[in-house]
Structure 1
């Protein structure tokens, strides 16, 4: 059922040398307010602050989901992650999905991914490993990792010595060095395992924070992350790749501290604190600079980046993302369509990265069949259980800026909440029962329900057809 990519892809006639390099960097559990440039009371992030000063900042950048794996799938596909079967953490992305890496590879890019992926397998031969997602080279963990991690390099598992966040930047820089003088532009993905718990990595030199208490290890890893991101940004300059490189930084979901999450609640919540994240873009050749409050989502990254790179393609699947590149020059002053969010559709699945990869490494070194087959090779991606189209499990929301409607289902109870985010960023005053907003609530209910039905049809397999 894999759709023929080359048969469907058309590429704008732009010379490879003129196409920009693209580098995507993502933190794991960093909240909107957990950066200096957004006014954190004590955490200092001088590297991210410098990028914010030099580049373009999204004030309302959203993760497509309030937890890690689904947001990663949204970046890969440009779609609400439930459509691709990534309903929660640890769920594999279906190989039938068309990814941004596949599209850019077909357009002539060298593709690499490094760090935490958490979307599938690290074993060779799996359609759910990064090769199956369109990456030429990869060195990845299956979930978060800390010091001295086990990582799979193109399917061969190795124990690496050092700080995990530094190792992935080492690998990313090595990939950039390999291709800097080549004929192909570069698409590199560097996804940090920090500042996810258990927060065992520590920064170099004196700590750039003065906080105390239970969150201190979390903030310490944010300092480490900032230092390593600075290394990558400097490497782009040293390799003379900076000018024609789109560098995009974000997080995968809201932070761990509600006080600095940028909204109500924190990671794992469909309220703003679980979804609002840092977002910065830099492209010196195009002099991207400024700040915008127009809402942008991680599933917008795929169509936006393809537009910026001059790559056209007809996607066979419905995209939730839209091209938001007009925000950079002010031609897009508002979001053209609402954003849907849906959490709690299914529970997550445990992925103990080091334990799984260590077991694979030991079998590889002994020349024995690798474990976890078929569970870790393909998991359940060939299964198409048919969810009822009127499914409404969990907590969904419809963001039609500045209005946000929540639909919360608990057992037999269904609750609706309406907030004006422009006036009530913390979502404290529920306006759903206010007669003044009756028509708005009814309209948004219908729109949210129609979107949820389309998502269910997608996970049921309606988007895929036989070749």
Structure 2
């Protein structure tokens, strides 16, 4: 456990000795990399083959309007682990490292007695040992990760030791997940397994098992990787059943942002945009022990996953940090029929940073093999960790959006232009209502709400959430080791 965790007034639920392990659900979180809402059979794609997603949708609970917290990958990953808008955790764009002061789902569940593991694409931090930004520092006991997307024959870091693998990267992700499940299936504690696939991100070199698919189709490589991903999801669901774990396991599937094909993105635009096509993604959850079945159009997003999962698992946590997500478990029973708390999105607050997984991890592996000093690059050990730049609260860079269903307000071009849409009447965001006099009161009210939320986010990235310490003392204790 991080030694600093005890300095916060965080009240976790009873430790594992108090609970019987079989009373608490296991949790498996599966995420695709760049799959759009419409890129599955159950969401109506005309030809892509996703029989396992389709079966999961038939047997489980479907979110018809599920949103990623950002239109690119790293920020959404931070939102899942923290329940917060990712800019608060200093992950405003791809390739940034999450601050070590953030309290993660893995830390909370590990404190509550869960075994924790993460497998696949991290894209939130380092794969090096002793880094304050590696998965151990985020609360994970076991990890096999890539720094960003990877395809065939990838370099992966297993708890800090880099290894080269032969074969399909997504298959290796499932192999390691399977080993984790096998290890803990008869253990005395429940587990959290985070499974973040590298597919269907380009360059689309992986192919599914069986006959060659989609020959002559546009974006064939993209769709092949979706089918490959679907096959690995089928392996996971099959192994959970074989091991006798499926009944009391919460399995939640989603994508990290919108897809690569705007025609099937589920809205206007695609990945990289705050219009619906960049944010709306497929999402299904199943938990046979609770007979979760059905579907809902109530808006839910990745920030809701942490508080919802903690409620489902019966784990209480008085997290001192402001959460943007809320417990949406009432949707399953029908008690919650509309969303009360709006969602705030903000893209291009800062630029992203390139992270070449194989190039970086290969260099580290060669140094490890030669016994050369680590780290490979000191800046990658602590990137974003020690930096607390102070932004003025009235910053309006990039593109922000405020979703108070069914109304969605966009703030564009550094605050010089706004757009307002009613998504119920105009799901493709084609008719801007911001200048219509009959919507003037709503428009001004949503502008004010977005401005207040934006200022709150800036206070967070400035470090104001990490009280009672001041900014200069927020750097982790020098010499604290993470394995």
Residues 125, 147 of structure 2: 8 Å contact kept: yes
**Cα deviation, residue 161, structure 1:** 1.1
Is 1:163 aligned to residue 163 of structure 2?
no
- Residue 207 of structure 1, CA deviation: 4.1
> Which residue of structure 1 aligns with residue 150 of structure 2?
145
* Residue in structure 1 matched with residue 235 of structure 2 by the alignment: 231
Pair 1:209–1:285, CA change in 2 (3 A): farther
Q: Deviations over 1:4-25 (max 9, x none)?
A: 2786232056432200000000
Q: Output the CA distance in 2 between the equivalents of 1:437 and 1:151.
A: 52
Instruction: Pick one of 300, 315, 320 that aligns with 2:319.
Output: 315
Residue of 90, 93, 101 corresponding to 1:96: 101
Q: How do residues 287-326 of structure 1 correspond to structure 2 at under 5 angstroms?
A: 287-326=291-330
Is 1:387 equivalent to 2:391 in the alignment? Answer: yes
Partner of 2:479: none
For 1:421, which of 423, 436, 442 is the aligned residue? 423
Partner of 1:409: 413
Residues 288 and 416 of structure 1, relative CA distance in 2, 3 Å threshold: same
Indicate yes or no: 2:48 matched with 1:43: yes
**What is the CA distance between 1:466 and its match in structure 2?**
4.7
In 2, the alpha carbon distance for the partners of 1:76 and 1:388 equals 27
1:254-293 equivalent positions in 2, closer than 5 A? 254-293=258-297
Match of 2:476 in 1: none
Checking the alignment, whether the CA contact within 8 Å between 1:208 and 1:223 is kept in structure 2 is no
Measure the CA separation in 2 of the matches of 1:72 and 1:258.
Answer: 22
Q: 1:457 to 1:137 in 2, by over 3 A?
A: same
SS of the residue corresponding to residue 250 of structure 1 reads strand
Cα offset, 1:209, TM superposition? 4.3
Q: Distance in 2 between matches of 1:146 and 1:6?
A: 40
Do 2:128 and 2:375's aligned partners in 1 also have CA atoms closer than 8 Å?
no
Distance 1:319 1:47 in 2: 33
Structure 1: how far apart are the matches of 2:439 and 2:384? 43
CA RMSD of aligned residues (A): 1.3
Q: Pairwise mapping of residues 4-403 of structure 1 onto structure 2 (< 5 A)?
A: 4=6, 8-11=10-13, 14-207=19-212, 209=214, 212-213=217-218, 215-403=219-407
| Residue 435 (structure 1) aligned with residue 440 (structure 2) | no
CA distance in 2, matches of 1:445, 1:27: 33
| Residues 23-72 of structure 1: per-residue CA shift (max 9 Å, x gap) | 00000000000000000011110000000000000000000000000000
1:132-164 Cα distance to aligned partner (Å, 9 max, x none): 000000000000000010000000000011100
Task: State the aligned residue count.
Answer: 464
Q: Please report how far the alpha carbon of residue 371 of structure 1 lies from its aligned counterpart in structure 2 after TM superposition.
A: 4.3
- Alpha-carbon shift at residue 253 of structure 1 (Å): 0.1
Partners of 1:42 and 1:211 within 8 A in 2 = no
Query: Take 1:7 and 1:449, find their aligned partners in 2: how far apart are those partners?
Result: 29
- The one-character-per-residue Cα deviations of 1:404-456 (angstroms, maximum 9, x if unpaired) are 0001124xx61110100011110000001111100000000000000000000
109-118 vs 366-375, which deviates more? Answer: 366-375
1:8 aligns to what SS in structure 2?
A: coil
Pair 107,337 (structure 1): closer, same or farther in 2 beyond 3 Å:
same
Q: Are the counterparts in 2 of residues 44 and 209 from structure 1 also a CA contact under 8 Å?
A: no
- Spell out, residue by residue over 1:272-305, the C-alpha distance to the aligned partner (whole angstroms, 9 max, x if none): 0000000000000000000100000001000000
Is the 1:244–1:283 contact (alpha carbons within 8 Å) kept by the matching residues of 2?
Answer: yes
Answer yes or no: is the 8 Å Cα contact 2:69–2:345 preserved in 1. yes
Are the structure 2 counterparts of residues 371 and 191 from structure 1 closer, same or farther at C-alpha, using a change threshold of 3 Å? same
Q: Secondary structure at the match of 2:381?
A: helix
TM-score by length of 2: 0.94
Q: Is the 8 A contact 1:126 1:377 kept in 2?
A: yes
Give, in angstroms, the shift of residue 381 of structure 1: 1.4
Matches of 1:171 and 1:127, distance apart in 2: 23
Separation of aligned partners in 2, 1:378 and 1:351: 15
- Partners of 2:302 and 2:212 in 1: CA distance: 31
Do 1:93 and 1:120's aligned partners in 2 also have CA atoms closer than 8 Å? yes
Q: CA separation in 1, counterparts of 2:7 and 2:260? A: 39
